[in-house]
């Protein structure tokens, strides 16, 4: 049986510098590294191009007030990181970043129609600022409606940017101002931060799983 030291040696990739003349490590991992990798809905390249285009749309419409990005945990964390870097790259400044969490889905089934909004810092410093909510996906709309109710009256301008929008399943009259991709199927989307029961968040692309049964 291998000792824990041997296991570490075998499992850790070796950097070329430290390896001396050792053969180069295997090339960057591809989809084969993910067992049961879901089929691609949008590739990492397509997502990256779309995120940069969204940054331009947001920058073109921003006011001269400071902007707070309100990132909805946890599904939007990868999208938000890329969006922030894209905004900075095109010269947007005077940004702050806050985090919210909203109790919503477990597995593929909704937990309830009135989710609670929690501010990670306890309070949300939105007063007098423009707020841009950064969300992974707007589905039935209850999560966004709850965020809107909690935040919109506290800020100067309230906008929402969602990586994905599925308007045909909407149950309440709400929606994002900036949309990465509009979906017209019920497929469950994972990857690029979105999960199914904690799985697939680390996938570098957006994948799709069969649609959940809808109640």
Where does residue 69 rank: exposed (0-12), middle (13-18), buried (19+ CB within 10 A)? Answer: buried
Peptide bond into 124 cis (omega under 30): no
Q: Residue 77 and residue 198: Cα distance in Å, rounded?
A: 14
- Per CB under 6 A, the segment of 21-29, 30-38, 46-54, 137-145 that binds ligand IMP is 137-145
- Distance from the first to the final alpha carbon of the chain: 50
Q: Is 136 a catalytic residue?
A: no
Chain contacts with Mg ion (rule: CB under 5 A): 75, 136
Question: Binds 82, which of ligand IMP, Mg ion, none (CB < 5 to 8 A, cut-off by type)?
Answer: none
Question: Binds 152, which of ligand IMP, Mg ion, none (CB < 5 to 8 A, cut-off by type)?
Answer: none
**Binds ligand IMP (CB under 6 A): choice among 47, 62, 75, 87:** 75
In the complex with ligand IMP, the residue whose CB is nearer, 87 or 144, is 144
Q: Which residues of 140-156 are buried (b: 16+ CB within 10 A; e: fewer)?
A: bbbbbbbbbebbeeebe
**Binds ligand IMP (CB under 6 A): choice among 79, 188, 192, 205:** 188
* Least gap, CB of 136 to Mg ion (angstroms): 4
CA distances from 97 to 65, 80, 121, 133 (A): 15, 9, 11, 10
Which residues inside 79-118 make contact with ligand IMP, applying CB under 6 A? 104-105
Catalytic residue among 82, 130, 136, 139: 139
In the complex with ligand IMP, the residue whose CB is nearer, 130 or 135, is 135
Two structure tokens written together for 68: 């707070």
Question: Residues interacting with ligand IMP, by CB under 6 A?
Answer: 75, 104-105, 135-144, 188-189, 194
Enzyme catalytic residues: 139
């Amino acid at each position: 049986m291998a000792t824990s030291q041997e296991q570490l040696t075998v499992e850790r990739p070796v950097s070329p510098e430290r390896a001396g003349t050792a053969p180069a490590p295997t090339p960057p991992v591809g989809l084969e590294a993910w067992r049961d990798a879901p089929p691609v809905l949008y590739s990492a390249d397509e997502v990256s191009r779309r995120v940069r285009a969204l940054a331009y749309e947001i920058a073109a419409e921003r006011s001269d007030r400071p902007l707070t990005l309100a990132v909805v945990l946890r599904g939007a964390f990868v999208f938000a990181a890329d969006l922030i870097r894209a905004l900075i790259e095109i010269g947007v400044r005077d940004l702050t970043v806050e985090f919210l969490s909203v109790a919503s889905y477990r597995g593929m089934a909704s937990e309830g129609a009135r989710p609670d909004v929690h501010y990670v810092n306890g309070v949300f410093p939105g007063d007098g600022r423009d707020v841009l909510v950064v969300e992974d996906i707007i589905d039935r709309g209850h999560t966004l409606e709850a965020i809107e109710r909690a935040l919109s009256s506290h800020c100067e301008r309230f906008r929402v940017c969602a990586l994905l929008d599925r308007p045909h399943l909407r149950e309440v009259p709400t929606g994002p101002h900036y949309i990465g991709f509009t979906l017209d199927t019920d497929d469950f989307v994972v990857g690029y931060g979105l999960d199914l029961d904690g799985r697939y968040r680390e996938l570098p692309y957006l994948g799709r799983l069969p649609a959940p049964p809808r109640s």
